[in-house]
Chains A and B, each alone.
Chain A
Amino acid sequence: MRGCLVALLLALTSRAVACDSPGAGYVRLESAAFVLWMATQPAPPPIGAEFAVDIGLCAKGSARADAIRFDAWMPAHRHGMNSRPSVTSLGAGHWRAEGFLFHMPGRWQFTFDVDTPAGRERLTRDIVLE
């Protein structure tokens, strides 16, 4: 997959923080060092129309996130989106990425690549649109 989306500098602290769901409709993703909550607006996302993704990111233990990239692709078709979302910080480890567009039905995969001093961690979420 090419063309990762906007990198965004995070202001997460290294302290462990409570990581509750930001609200209804959020899905929990987890990697070795992070917990990420995501929700599409609207849910489920439409086909052929723009939608947004809200996320909340929490670091486990002493983990630190330097940047996060949002993207999505169709693994079976080996292509990504035709759009590049823009990201807005909502404060306190929350962001909204607008401009997602899934232009065909099938299985899409959201990818969130978190850069840390130790390397990159990827969190993913698959969704099938019909």
Chain B
Amino acid sequence: MFSSNRSILRLIALVAAALLAQAALAGLLTFSPDEIRAIAGHGPWPPAAPRDPSNRASGNAEAIALGEKLFFDPRLSPDATMACARCHRPAQAWTDGRRLPQGRPVSGKGALVRNTPTLWNAGFGRWFGWGGGSDTIWSFALRPIQHPLEMASSAAQVARTLRGDRELACRYRRAFGDPAKPDAALTVDAAKAIAAFVETLVSARTPFDAFRDALLRGDRVAAARYPLAAQRGLRIFVGEGNCSVCHFGPTFTNGEFADVGVPFFVPGGVDRGRYAGIQRLRADPYNLLGRFSDAPGEATAARTRHLRLQPRNFGEFKVPGLRNVAKTAPYMHDGSLASLAAVVEHYSELDEDRLHTEGEKILRPLRLSAQASADLRAFLETLSDDGRYLPLARVSGATSPCASPPGR
């Protein structure tokens, strides 16, 4: 009798498992081979850590620790009121949650006109800034440090901060050696340390990544845990929405620029976007072709040397990555779209008259239903990780405390 009861229980368990599996599979769309191929292209995640050959501090634990401290240190600004972290806040996905950054009020100097981008996964980029006016993170970091509306600092101020603080001076020595060099050189090193730190800001895995990997290994039960709404939204993203064309690859950006019909008028004129960015980059002494690169040579500088300035670059802005996009409102280069719903509506009701006449014929109004819009938003929200930024000192203990006095 006992044996019979055990058999019955075993049978019940098998049937229950089969029913559960069946129910789970009912929650999985049937993706075509082309769709699966497109979905596969958005991974794997995470990729190998980014490295910048032009920055000898890239990947260097001591430089990263120094860079992290500098990132949060307001003494880089002359009045000690502004650090990088003022606009790039860890708790707000390395943005500030504002349409436009709260810059330094300076009469007659205009205002900051571009939204603060997230720093998540910045290290995988090729161009930096909404207009791509820099070709490395470290050269881009020099701009807000010296911009009159941002940190309004100088090489002298940065050098004074580095030399005058015992710990910073110690960490500098460990990372770069003797600080007895011109202020300008010290400032470039500081920017390189900050860049080395920013490179470590790689977002964690997301529900999308779990779904993608399950789909590719044929684990239908695991894949079916991904919300159906997100699956439908993903289908739109890689299909009729054409989103994957520009929001391509594991970081969900091709790293280039596009005109998506967002106005580029700003107080007093226009924001020329990529066009001005290329002009700025070519004139920048800190670009990859310049003497401050730690890897002078063909391979590293190739992308800058081969840049092409074209009329269509006017009004183009960088295609942002979409990992953690749900955490980085507001959106677009000017922060004009307050929510993901507004972004989806923008593409759904796209005003083609706003696009360049020579613009890419990729975009067209999607005319999404309310359900489809909600599905697309649901998918985008699954690109959020649940990781938190943990200061390096607490994560790895990679470097020992710096107790040496300056000069030793």
Residue among A74, A78, A85, A104 making CB contact with B306, cutoff 8 Å = A85
Does B306 lie within 8 Å of A48, measured CB to CB? no
- Please tell me which stretch of B89-97, B282-290, B356-364 contacts chain A, meaning at least 4 of its Cβ atoms lie within 8 angstroms of it: B356-364
Of the listed stretches B160-168, B214-222, B248-256, B322-330, chain A binds B248-256
Task: List, in ascending order, chain A residues with CB within 8 A of B362's CB.
Answer: 77, 104
Q: Decide: A82 near B257, CB < 8 A? Known: A3-B308, A50-B306, A77-B361.
A: yes
Chain B CB within 10 A, most for which of A50, A76, A79: A79
Q: How many residues of A contact B (CB 8 A)?
A: 25
A47 on the B face (CB < 8 A): yes
Q: B248 and A82: CB pair below 8 A? A: no
The contact string, 1 if C-beta is below 8 Å from chain A, for chain B 288-319, is 00000000000000110111101110000000
Point out the residue from B41, B245, B360 that lies within 8 Å of A78, measured CB to CB.
B360
A104 with B248: CB separation less than 8 A: yes
Please name the residue on chain B nearest to A100 by beta carbon: B306
Q: Does B77 contact A (CB under 8 A)?
A: no
- 20 residue pairs of the A-B complex, CB under 8 angstroms, read A2-B310, A3-B310, A47-B249, A77-B360, A78-B361, A79-B358, A79-B359, A79-B360, A81-B308, A82-B256, A82-B307, A83-B307, A99-B303, A101-B303, A103-B255, A103-B256, A105-B41, A105-B245, A106-B245, A130-B41
- A86 within 8 Å of B by Cβ? yes
- A98: Cβ under 8 A from any B Cβ: yes
Q: Which residue of A lies closest to B356 (CB)?
A: A79
B37 surroundings in chain A (CB, below 8 A): 130
Please tell me if A84 contacts chain B, counting CB pairs below 8 Å: yes
Closest to B249 in A: A48
B44 to chain A, nearest CB (A): 16
- Given A82-B308, A84-B306, 4 more pairs with CB closer than 8 A: A78-B361, A99-B303, A104-B248, A104-B362
A47 (CB) vs chain B CBs: closest residue: B248
Q: Say yes or no for B115: interface residue by CB 8 A criterion.
A: no
> In the complex, which residues of chain A have a beta carbon less than 8 angstroms from the beta carbon of B254?
47-48, 103-104
| Nearest-Cβ distance from residue A107 to partner chain B, whole angstroms | 12
In the complex, B24 has a CB within 8 A of chain A: no
CB distance from A49 to the nearest CB of B (A): 9
Residues of B within 8 A of A79 (CB): 312, 358-360
- How far is it, in angstroms, between the C-alpha of A77 and the C-alpha of B257 when the chains are bound? 14
Residues on the B chain within 8 Å of A103, using CB: 254-256
- Given A104-B248, A104-B254, check contact A83 B360 (CB 8 Å): no
Complex interface residues of chain B between 193 and 243 (CB less than 8 A to chain A): none
Q: A3-B308, A77-B361, A78-B358 are in contact. Are A104 and B302 (CB under 8 A)?
A: no
Taking CB as reference atom, which chain A residue is nearest B246? A104
CB-defined contacts of A82 to chain B, threshold 8 Å: 256-257, 307-308, 310
Q: Which residue of A lies closest to B40 (CB)?
A: A130
Interchain nearest-CB distance for A46 vs B (Å): 10
Bound Cα distance from A99 to B257, whole angstroms: 17
List residues of B (32-69) whose CB comes within 8 Å of A's CBs: 37-38, 41
- Among residues of A, the one whose C-beta sits closest to the C-beta of B316 is A82
Q: How distant is the Cα of A23 from the Cα of B244 in the complex, in angstroms?
A: 35
A105→B362 CA distance, assembly (Å):
12
Distance (whole angstroms) from the CB of B216 to the closest CB of chain A: 15
Per-residue interface assignment for chain A, residues 90 to 130, with 1 indicating a CB less than 8 Å from any chain B CB and 0 otherwise: 00000000110101111000000000000000000000001
